[in-house]
Amino acid sequence: MPNTSDQPDDVLIVALAERDLGALATLYDRYGRLAYALAYRILGEGQAAEDVVHDAYISAWRGAASYRRERGNVRGWLMSIVHHRAVDVLRRKTTFRPAPLEAAAERAADDDTAEAAERNVEHQTVRAALEGLPQAQRRTIELAYFGGYTHVELAELMGVPLGTVKGRMRIGLQKLRRALEVQGTYRERSR
Amino acid sequence: MIHVTDELELYSLGALAPGDAARVTAHLSECPACREQARAIDEVVQELPETLPGREAPGRLRDRILASARAELATVRAPRRDMAWTARLLRPALVLAAGLWLAVGAAALVNENLSLSNELKVVASDRATYESIVEGIRQGGRWWYMAGKDGWTGSGGTLIAPRAEGRPPFVVFHDLRPLPRGQLYTVWLVSSDNTWVRGATFRPDGKDVQAVDVTAAIAGFDSCAVTIEDSAWGRRAGPVVMESRIVPPAP
Ligand SMILES: [Zn+2]
C-alpha cells in the first residue's frame, strides 16, 4: 500500500493485520488525538495517558486480525481498547480516588482553551447531547466511563441503590442515542 | 442460558467488576441476541470521547508507537520454511510438549522444562512468535532458566540459544512485572571471569509471556541475568532481578 492516508478505516485495518506500518501511522494520525484526550481525561496525567495510548495502539497492531466489522467501527474499537486500558491503569494505581466531581470540574475548566474552541460541529453536537441530559444521568455516565467507577462504587458515592445507578445509565444512554440519531451524525463518523 | 441484557449498559461503560465483565464477555461470545443489543449500546458509548475537549498528544508519541511496532516486526519474523512441520505442532499442545522434550532433552531441568512448555502454549495465540520459538527449539541448542528474585519472585525467563546458524538466541519471559516509564529490562550474558555483556534491552509488553531476541552471541558465556536499567547503553548499574541458577547443560 503506497499511500494509506486516503484509505478508509476498513482498508487500513486489513493492512494493519498484514503488519503495514503505514496503516498504523494513518490510524494514529486519524484517531491518536481522540485516544489521547480520552486517556488523559481518565488518568488526569500526560505521562500515563501517553503510555496507555502507546499500549493501546500496539495492542491494536497485534490484534488487528481479531477486529470484526459487525461489532462496530474501527474508531469505536480503538476507543474501547484505550478506555479499557486506561481504566485498568487507573484502578491499579488508585484504591482511593478522592473528590471525583471536583476533580472533573477542575479538569474541564482547564481545558477551555482556544484549541478546545476549535472543536468541530459534530463534536459539539455529541457534547450538547450529553449536556442535555438530566444532571444525575449525565454524572452517572461520566463517572462510570471517565471516572472508572464500578456501579457498586457509584451507588455508594451517589448514595443511591444499585438499581438506580443502572436505571440512570440505561435511560441516559437511550436519550443520548435518540439525540444522536436525530442529529444523524454518529453512524457516519468513522471513515 | 441466562441472558445479560440487564448488565449491558454497565458492561459497555466499564462499570462492572472484572469477574462480572468476564462473564458478560463469555455470554456475548455465544448469544447473538445479547450481542446485537450490546453493539447498539456500544455505538453510543463509543461517542463519549467526542464530548471531550481536544488535546494534542506529545509529538514523540507517534514515533514511539511506530518504533515499538517496528521492533516487534523484527522480533517476531517467522520462519516460513518447513511450515508443515510447525503446523502439525500447532494443533495438539501435547505434541508440542513431547517435541520440546525431544528437542531440548535436558533432564536436569525438569521443572523449568515443563513450565517452558506451558508458557509456549500461552504464546500459541501469537502464531508468528510461536512459530519462531518452536523453530528455535526444534533446532536444539543450549538454554538457561533465569528465576526472578526479591520483588520479582514468580517472574522468570528462559534464554534459548538454538544450534542452527542464522537464528539468534532469544529469551521467553513469563510474568514480567510492569516497569515505571524510563526503566528498561536488560538481559546480560555473564562470562566466568564476571564480564557482563548486554544481550537485550526491552520494555515489558504486558502479556503473560514475552519473547525477546538477544543480539549478542552466546558463545563464551556461562550464565545470564536480568537487571533494571535507566539506559539502553553503558555498563550495568541497576539491580539484578533475575539470574540463571543452574550451570547450563553442555551443548
Ligand atoms: Zn443472551
CATH code of residue A132: 1.10.10.10
Residues whose Cβ atom is located within 5 A of ion ligand 1: B 3, 31, 34
What part of A 104-143 touches B (C-beta under 8 Å)? 108, 111-113, 115-116, 118-119, 122-123, 126-127, 130, 141
Asked if the structure places residue A100 within a domain, the reply is no
pLDDT digits (tens, 9 = 90+) for A16-66: 988 899 999 999 999 999 999 999 999 999 999 999 999 999 999 988 888
* Residue-by-residue DSSP string for A10-46: HHHHHHHHTT-HHHHHHHHHHHHHHHHHHHHHHH--H
Of the three residues A61, A94, A127, the one that is the final residue of a domain is: A94
- The pLDDT confidence band at residue A103, using thresholds 50, 70 and 90, is very low
Can you give the residue range of the structural domain that contains A20?
A: 1-94
Q: Rounded CA gap, A106 and B41, in Å?
A: 29
Asked if the structure places residue A83 within a domain, the reply is yes
Asked if the structure places residue A85 within a domain, the reply is yes
Q: In this structure, are A127 and A44 located in the same domain?
A: no
Residue in A13, A50, A45 with CA at minimum distance from that of residue A32: A50
Residue A99, phi-psi category: left (phi > 0), alpha (psi -120 to 50), beta (remainder): left
Residue A102 predicted with pLDDT over 80: no
ipTM over 0.95: no
Which residues, 6 or more positions from B75, have their beta carbon under 8 angstroms from its beta carbon? B129, B211, B212, B213
Q: Rounded CA gap, A93 and A43, in Å?
A: 10
More confident residue, B118 or A106: B118
**Domain residue extents for chain B:** 1-51, 140-244
Q: In this structure, are A52 and A128 located in the same domain?
A: no
Q: In this structure, are A84 and A115 located in the same domain?
A: no
B49 and A37 Cβ atoms separated by less than 8 Å: yes
Q: Which residues of B touch A (CB under 8 A)?
A: 6, 9-10, 12-17, 35, 39-58, 61-62, 64-66, 68-70, 72-73, 126, 181, 205-206
Q: Rounded CA gap, A89 and A80, in Å?
A: 14
pLDDT digits (tens, 9 = 90+) for A127-170: 899 999 999 999 999 999 999 999 999 999 999 999 999 999 99
Q: What is the pLDDT of residue A124?
A: 66
Q: Do A54 and B65 touch (CB under 8 A)?
A: yes
Q: In the 8-state DSSP scheme, what is residue B186?
A: E
Q: What is the pTM of this model?
A: 0.58
A147 and A158 Cβ atoms separated by less than 8 Å: no
Find how far residue B195's CA is from the centre of its chain: 27
pLDDT tens digits for chain B (251 residues)?
789 999 999 999 999 988 899 999 999 989 999 999 999 999 999 999 999 988 899 999 999 999 999 988 876 554 433 333 333 333 333 334 433 433 333 222 223 344 454 455 444 444 444 455 555 554 555 667 788 888 887 788 877 776 655 567 778 788 888 898 888 899 998 877 778 888 888 989 887 777 788 877 777 777 889 999 988 887 888 899 998 864 444 33
- Average the pLDDT over A92-119 and give the result: 46
Q: In this structure, are A69 and A1 located in the same domain?
A: yes
Of the three residues A94, A118, A136, the one that is the final residue of a domain is: A94
Q: In this structure, are A138 and A172 located in the same domain?
A: yes
Residue A120 predicted with pLDDT over 90: no
Helix (H) or strand (E) holding B156: strand B156-162
